[in-house]
Amino acid sequence: MHYDAKRVKEIQEKNKIWKTLPEEEKQKELQSRRCPDGEYVDVMLFSEGTFPYVKGGVSSWILQLIQGVPEYTFGVVFVGASEYDEEGKKMEIGYVLPENLIHIEEHYLFDFKADLNPKRIKGSKEGFESIEILYKAFKSGERDIPEMLQKIDFYMKDVTFSDFLYSERSWEFINKSYMENCPDVPFVDYFWTLRNIHKPIWVLAKIVEGMPDTRIFHAPSTGYAGFIGALASYTRDRPFYLTEHGIYTRERKIDMLSADWVEYKKPSLLQQPEEYNYIKRMWVNFFDKVGTFCYNRSNYILSLFAGAQKIQINFGADENRTMVIPNGVDVDGLKATMVNREEVLRPIITLIGRVVPIKDIKTFIRAIKITSEKIPNVEAWLVGPVDEDEEYVKECQQMAISLGLKKEMQIFNGNHSNLTPAEIEALPDTIKLYGFSNIKDILPKSALQALSSISEGMPLVILEGYAAGVPCVATSVGSCRELIEGAIDEKDIAMGVAGAVCGIADPQALADEYIRLLDFENGDWQRAQDAAIERVETYYRQEMFLKDYKELYDEGIDLTWDELKVRVYPYYLPKKVPYPKMMLKKFNVISYSTTKKVGE
């Protein structure tokens, strides 16, 4: 149920107090918190490998949303691969949980143990016929999901997990699909890939079955998180909102193409020019179809910037349901840190983000090497989680050492260095790794912010840097160009360029922009800072972002999925043809419908 005004004020005050606590006290508080378990929530959020265990942009967004809309109670369903990290350590909650987050449950898709004593079973004829219809529909380009597969009864009763794993019909289906699609691929590779791709679906259906009563389902991506939300919405007839921070299908394609764990590959002489590993394509196609499932069910398909909205439409999203809600940041709180800036800035370039391949940290390191030849006292600070891909972190440190930018490897315990921030800052290195740190301590010392990513959505860190008076040099991915050059309207463009935009994997171009902007005498840095501050204050305040989401929650909280669908589409019903247009905020009228309102 909704909190009253007094309760809302209490939550807001607790959150303010939390922000002022020293880091040591925050860590103690983290360890004392336990996962809440409520029987009812207003909004259920679905987290795939993010909040509350993994720090990063999406996790920060989820926390910001929960704290910023205290009128509603929230739950979080966390879905991960395994309960333990690569070193065998159990994952721990990394945030203090807001008071209005009253339910958390965690599930691990690949820790799930199947029955080790299977029995021979025939399997459901109707169930596997539905699966065949689905496969044929997707192969022909159709995007509708058979109705039978839209609710959990199909996975709990019609084709159970045991049917999928052990039945004769399952074996027949897999063998038939193999012979039709890829008889030149080793069958054992195809068999286990198909099983591993689809096995989590039954785990997700089980999650939906045990979920508490919920008014609105909200996923920050398609993929497994979006699939749970869409499946729950179909099953319970409640609204489903989808907010894509990056385009999940495209990012998984990048992951698959660069993955080295998929071993099978046809001999190069036998490959067609456009062909790549079939096993990888199976994974890509699976996530593409899951994206379709999510788009078809979403009442609202939200994105962070106009470019992402266009990609969603190209991927099959109904344009009528799409809407752009940009991220917002605590402008006033971050702007207050500018009083801590040194009068004469040091040439410190800060990259805030996870140290993982998709952020292309190695290109950043190469760019810093080039920059150091022109600006010998330049420093590069890597600020963000280092525990997600420890091998990559090691490679980056080794590269920095080999290029003469670092003397020795830094040691981390999880995401925290064994050195204090002051000790890290005092290191004689050009490249310094801080691990997870408070950006309010980092940004006042930074002259530039950098992003070298090969894929992004709408990076909050750029906006946070702007609010603290730090221009940004970024690669042309996601909304980076829009944030740096302006794109919302003519006024936004007229504000000027708040840094620079470069192509991906181009260390020379990045270095050239670092050098240009760090020449404080030419006026470019000051003009970039002025544009950055004006842009974030005008278009990207946290209050705007939270207001938009609260309005969406207010609209759907008491409605079924069908009732909300009628409201989302921009027209009056029933009317004689032609219907008069009713333009709703941020929507374009694309088509009309003769469907009547529910109850009429």
* Mean pLDDT, all residues of the chain: 84
Question: What pLDDT is attached to residue 359?
Answer: 96
Which range has the worst mean pLDDT, 66-80, 86-100, 206-220? 86-100
- Give the integer Cα–Cα distance in Å for 142 and 129: 17
Task: Show the beta-strand stretches assigned E in 5-58.
Answer: 40-48
pLDDT of residue 1: 37
Mean pLDDT calculated for residue range 102-113: 82
Q: How confident is the model at residue 505 (pLDDT cuts 50, 70, 90)?
A: very high
State the SS3 of 530-560: HHHHHHHHHHCEHHHHHHHHHHHHHHHCCCC
- The fraction of the chain above a pLDDT of 90, given in percent, is 52
State mean pLDDT over 455-478: 94
pLDDT of residue 576: 41
**Segment among 222-236, 249-263, 372-386, 499-513 with least mean pLDDT:** 249-263
Confidence of residue 147 (pLDDT cuts 50, 70, 90): confident
Range with the poorest average pLDDT among 31-45, 430-444, 513-527, 561-575: 561-575
Confidence of residue 550 (pLDDT cuts 50, 70, 90): very high
Gap between the Cα atoms of 406 and 431, Å rounded = 6
Of 384, 360, 380, 358, the C-alpha closest to 368 is: 380
- Span of 70-84, 339-353, 391-405 with lowest mean pLDDT: 70-84
pLDDT (0 to 100) of residue 253: 60
Residue 184 lies in a domain: yes
- The domain boundary, picked from 508, 540, 572, lies at 540
90, 96, 99, 103 alpha-carbon torsion, rounded to 10°: -20
Average pLDDT over residues 386-400: 94
C-alpha of 528 from chain center? 28
Domain count of the chain?
A: 2
d(CA 252, CA 246): 10
CA distance 467 to 173: 56
Ordered alpha helix ranges (H), 495-541:
507-517, 524-539
- Mean pLDDT throughout 388-405? 96
481, part of any domain:
yes
Q: CATH number of the domain at 536, please.
A: 3.40.50.2000
Could you report the per-residue pLDDT of 423-432, keeping only the tens digit for each? 999 999 999 9
Indicate the DSSP class of residue 595.
P
Q: Nearest to residue 77, comparing CAs of 248, 237, 210?
A: 210
Q: What share of the chain is helix, strand, coil (3-state, %, to 5)?
A: 50, 15, 40
Please check whether residue 457 lies inside any domain of the structure. Answer: yes
Q: Find residue 349's DSSP bridge partners.
A: 380, 448
- CA 79 to each of CA 49, 209, 226: distance values in angstroms, whole numbers, following the listed order: 6, 15, 11
In a domain? residue 535? yes
Alpha-carbon distance 428 to 507, whole Å? 23
Considering the domain architecture, whether residues 192 and 336 belong to the same structural domain is answered as no
Largest CA distance in the chain: 78
Residue 248 has pLDDT above 90, yes or no: no
Is the pLDDT assigned to residue 5 strictly greater than 60?
A: no
pLDDT in the model for residue 584:
41
Boundary-marking domain end, from 540, 557, 592: 540
In this predicted structure, the answer to whether residue 338 has a pLDDT above a threshold of 70 is yes
pLDDT confidence of 596, banded at 50, 70, 90?
A: very low
Q: Binning pLDDT at 50, 70 and 90, where does residue 86 land?
A: low
CA dihedral 254, 256, 260, 264 (to 10 degrees): -140
For helices 542-556 and 57-68, the axis angle rounded to 10 degrees is 70
Please give the average per-residue pLDDT across 351-360, as a whole number.
Answer: 95
Of residues 149 and 173, more confidently modeled: 173
Per-residue pLDDT at 258 exceeds 60: no
Q: Are 450 and 456 in contact (CB under 8 A)?
A: no
What pLDDT does 91 receive?
Answer: 79
For residue 441, what pLDDT is reported? 96
Strands (E), 320-423: 322-324, 348-352, 379-383, 412-413, 416-417
Distance in angstroms (rounded) separating the CA atoms of residues 52 and 64: 12
* Residue in this structure with the two tokens 């691969």, named with its chain if needed: 81
Residue 419 CB coordination number (10 Å): 18
What pLDDT is recorded for position 280? Answer: 77
* For residue 370, pLDDT beyond 80: yes
The two three-digit tokens of residue 187, written as one number:
């069958």
Take residue 134 and report the two structure tokens written for it: 């689905």
Q: How far apart are CA 325 and CA 66, in angstroms?
A: 16
pLDDT bin (cut points 50, 70, 90) of residue 307 is confident
DSSP line for 123-179: --HHHHHHHHHHHHHHHTT--PPPGGGGSHHIIIIIS-HHHHHH-HHHHHHHHHHHH
pLDDT band at 599 (very low <50, low <70, confident <90, very high): very low
Residue 471 in contact with residue 497, Cβ under 8 Å? no
13-48 tens-digit pLDDT: 665 665 566 656 655 555 454 456 768 899 999 999
* Tally of helices (H runs) and strands (E runs) in the chain: 24, 15
Out of 157, 175, 197, a domain closes at 197
Residue 506 pLDDT more than 70? yes
Instruction: Based on the fold, state whether residues 372 and 515 are members of the same structural domain.
Output: yes
pLDDT bin (cut points 50, 70, 90) of residue 270 is very low
Global pTM reads: 0.79
Q: With contact defined as beta carbons under 8 Å apart, do 566 and 595 qualify?
A: yes
| Contact assessment for residue 462 and residue 483, using Cβ atoms and an 8 Å cutoff | yes
Q: Which long-range contacts (CB under 8 A, 24 or more apart) does 174-177 make?
A: 177/135
Residue 49 lies in a domain: no
Higher pLDDT, 335 or 117: 335
Residue 275 is predicted with a pLDDT of 42
Note whether residue 404 is domain-resident.
yes
Q: What pLDDT does residue 570 have?
A: 47
Least confident of 100-109, 284-293, 443-452, 478-487: 284-293
Closest CA to 42 of 588, 558, 598, 577: 558
**Residue 598 confidence (pLDDT):** 47
Cβ contact 99:14 at 8 Å: yes
What is the C-alpha separation between 120 and 114, in angstroms, rounded?
A: 15
Q: Residue 205 pLDDT > 60, yes or no?
A: yes
For residue 387, the model assigns a pLDDT of: 87
Cα separations in angstroms, 185 against 54, 265, 281, 282, 351? 36, 8, 12, 12, 42
Please check whether residue 290 is in contact with residue 222, taking contact to mean a CB–CB distance below 8 angstroms.
yes
Task: Provide the Cα torsion 189, 195, 200, 201; round to 10°.
Answer: 130
591 falls within a domain = no
pLDDT for 35: 59
Residue 547 belongs to a domain: no
* pLDDT, position 196: 84
Grade residue 272 by pLDDT with cuts at 50, 70 and 90.
very low
Q: Kindly state the average pLDDT of the residues 241-269.
A: 62
Q: Which residues form the domain of 353?
A: 331-540
Residue 438 contacts residue 19 (beta carbons within 8 Å) = no
Whether the pLDDT of residue 515 is over 90: the answer is yes
